[in-house]
Amino acid sequence: MKKLAFAILPILFFAACSSAPPKPAETKQEKAAPKPTETISGREAFQKMLPAGRGWFADAKPVRMESQSTSDSDGRDGKSAVWRVVFASPGRLKMEGFSWSGSASADLDRGISHGTEDTFSPSNSSTQPFDMNFLKIDSDEALATANKHGGEKLLKKDPKLPVQYLLDWDPRKNQLVWHVIYGTSRMSAGLVIDVDATKNDFIRDEK
């Protein structure tokens, strides 16, 4: 009888363990819940994409960087959910764009994605690479300067007005420039303010 009792104990023990209530399964809604939109500043985006550019070609240098307004990011805080950097390889005479997205609504996949290669001409003044050491002023700082020169008035007038950012090199003045664009495009914007990306000085109103 003792042997029988000892033989039954393990069975009862495992039966008790197996009768423990199972963990609730993850619902479909929890699985499908999208990640919240992530917005970052221009310098943050540049630092994220620089390794990808250098991985493309070791001599890659930035030509320009621009933000893209989306339905979940209007750029009014100096940040964006989508950024694009174009790198050029002087040695290979090639250019390629790299994009970073933290948007839940844009067509781009989250993270860093590659564009397509294009030819690069060192003599083209509109695609002059710049030394990244000139980039000392971030997009939110450039916005604060631009707001002092007419931008704040526009933003108060139109609460839905998006702000976009374009960074490129001005070969005539040897100057890295933030173009703060109040509107959906540089051509149609009501105001575009140029800010020195090294000193944060107001340069001019393009309009």
Q: Tell me: the pLDDT tens digits for 57-68?
A: 999 999 999 999
Q: What is the pLDDT of residues 95-109, one digit of tens each?
A: 999 999 999 886 778
Q: Considering the domain boundaries, does residue 162 fall inside one?
A: yes
Q: How do residues 9-32 score in pLDDT, each as one tens digit? A: 444 444 444 455 555 555 555 455
Inside any domain, residue 136: yes
pLDDT of 81: 97
Burial of 164 (0-12, 13-18, 19+ CB in 10 A): buried
Residue 14 lies in a domain: no
Strand runs (DSSP E) across the chain, as ranges? 61-67, 82-89, 94-101, 111-119, 163-170, 175-182, 191-196, 202-205
Domain count, the chain: 1
Mean model confidence pLDDT for the chain:
88
Whether the model clears a pTM of 0.85, i.e. scores above it, the answer is: no
52 within a domain of the structure (yes/no): yes
Q: Report yes or no on 34 lying in a domain.
A: no
**Structural domain for 70, as ranges:** 42-205
Q: Find the helix or strand (DSSP H, E) in which 43 lies.
A: helix 42-56
Q: Is 55 inside a domain boundary?
A: yes
Q: What is the pLDDT of residues 46-87, one digit of tens each?
A: 999 999 999 999 999 999 999 999 999 999 999 999 999 999
Within a domain: residue 16? no
Q: Is the pLDDT of residue 128 over 70?
A: yes
d(CA 48, CA 25): 36
From 85, 182, 89, 112, select the one nearest 142 (Cα to Cα): 182
| Mean pLDDT in residue range 169-197 | 96
pLDDT score of 109 = 86
Residue with the larger pLDDT of the pair 22 and 8 = 22
Cα-based angle 156, 159, 163 (whole degrees, multiple of 5): 90
Tell whether 4 is covered by a domain.
no
